[in-house]
């Protein structure tokens, strides 16, 4: 195994380079090959060494995307050729990041893998918008779900949102109308508070609030764009969250 490189699956956090772990920052600065996805902020890529090779495997709707198998093959091929590879992903590699699939492909090929956690968008957004995900008097459960079109109707979210619970929805901008309908069909009150946090932990962050029934309208009116998170639950209505919204609006 002497000539085999290691694949580091590294979480880049939600955007701000200051929110990288020390280990992630060290690996980005010292590794010659960085394979990154589209969510990774340019300010983070700027920490790479001047002679490092940066390969984007951005998944963008309009452009040709590198299929997951091709990404796996690229990581394995480079490592077997003896190069260490940093596979840099937005947020945390093991939260809606397909890190598990990439690690599995590496292990199957005999390539050593190390996973470096990152601050997931939910944690970054909660801190930046000052919305506690749990709080003794408002929520003792928090769930992360994926809201993208594929399979949305088959997903069972019953019981994940409501009194005493916080639901965080990733990838839910496009499907906002179906999301609010789905949750209300599950029995959630139309006036359940929610916050939409767009570009959390980046200079252009926006924090917007509405009742559940107003989600689709809010997303359309404010022209919310990905990346954004939807946080649903009593915590989104707290005073601290309201103050953070005002502060964010004042900066616009």
Residues contributing to the site for ligand SAH (CB under 6 A): 14-15, 39, 89-92, 95-97, 120-121, 125, 170-171, 197, 199-202, 226-229
Q: How many CB atoms lie within 10 A of CB 182?
A: 17
Nearer to ligand SAH among residue 87 and residue 165 (C-beta): 87
Q: Give the HSE-up count for residue 169: Cα atoms under 13 Å, Cβ half-sphere.
A: 29
Name the token pair of 94: 């093991």
Name the active-site residue from 16, 18, 37, 69. Answer: 37
Q: Min. distance of Cβ 80 from ligand SAH in angstroms? A: 26
Q: Is 211 helix (H, G, I), strand (E, B) or coil?
A: strand
Name the active-site residue from 18, 41, 51, 59. Answer: 59
- Nearest to ligand SAH by Cβ — which residue? 91
Nearer to ligand SAH among residue 20 and residue 83 (C-beta): 20
Closest CA to 23 of 94, 95, 117: 117
Closest CA to 188 of 152, 154, 229, 160: 160
Q: Min. distance of Cβ 143 from ligand SAH in angstroms? A: 14
Nearer to ligand SAH among residue 83 and residue 89 (C-beta): 89
Residues 6+ apart with CB under 8 A from 164: 138, 139, 140, 141, 234
Look at the alpha carbons of 145, 230, 61, 66 in this order and tell me if their dihedral is positive or negative.
Answer: negative
Nearer to ligand SAH among residue 153 and residue 204 (C-beta): 204
Long-range contacts of residues 49-55, Cβ cutoff 8 Å, at least 24 apart: none
Q: Give the HSE-up count for residue 237: Cα atoms under 13 Å, Cβ half-sphere.
A: 16
Q: What is the DSSP letter of 25?
A: H
Question: In the annotation, is 240 catalytic?
Answer: no
Q: Min. distance of Cβ 150 from ligand SAH in angstroms? A: 13
Nearer to ligand SAH among residue 34 and residue 83 (C-beta): 34
CA–CA dist 66, 45 (Å, integer): 19
Q: Min. distance of Cβ 165 from ligand SAH in angstroms? A: 19
Question: In the annotation, is 59 catalytic?
Answer: yes
> Mind telling me the catalytic residues?
37, 59
């Amino acid at each position: 195994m002497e000539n085999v490189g290691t694949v580091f699956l590294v979480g880049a956090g939600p955007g701000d380079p200051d929110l990288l772990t020390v280990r992630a920052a060290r690996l980005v600065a010292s590794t010659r090959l960085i394979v990154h996805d589209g969510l990774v902020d340019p300010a983070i890529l700027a920490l790479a060494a001047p002679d490092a090779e940066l390969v984007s495997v951005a998944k963008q709707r309009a452009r040709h995307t590198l299929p997951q198998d091709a990404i796996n093959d690229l990581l394995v091929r480079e490592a077997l050729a003896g190069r260490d590879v940093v596979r840099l992903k937005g947020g945390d590699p093991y939260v809606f990041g397909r890190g598990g699939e990439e690690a599995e492909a590496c292990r199957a090929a005999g390539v050593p893998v190390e996973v470096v956690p990152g601050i997931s968008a939910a944690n970054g957004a909660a801190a930046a918008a000052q919305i506690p995900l749990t709080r003794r008097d408002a929520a003792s459960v928090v769930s992360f779900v994926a809201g993208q079109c594929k399979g949305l109707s088959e997903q069972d979210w019953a019981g994940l949102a409501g009194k005493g619970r916080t639901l965080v929805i990733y990838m839910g901008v496009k499907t906002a109308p179906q999301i609010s309908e789905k949750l209300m069909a599950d029995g959630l009150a139309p006036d359940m508070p929610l916050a939409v946090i767009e570009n959390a932990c980046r200079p252009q962050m926006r924090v917007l609030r509405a009742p559940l029934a107003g989600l689709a309208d809010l997303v359309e009116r404010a022209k919310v764009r990905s990346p954004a998170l939807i946080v649903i639950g009593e915590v989104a209505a707290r005073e601290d969250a309201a103050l953070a919204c005002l502060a964010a609006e004042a900066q616009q």
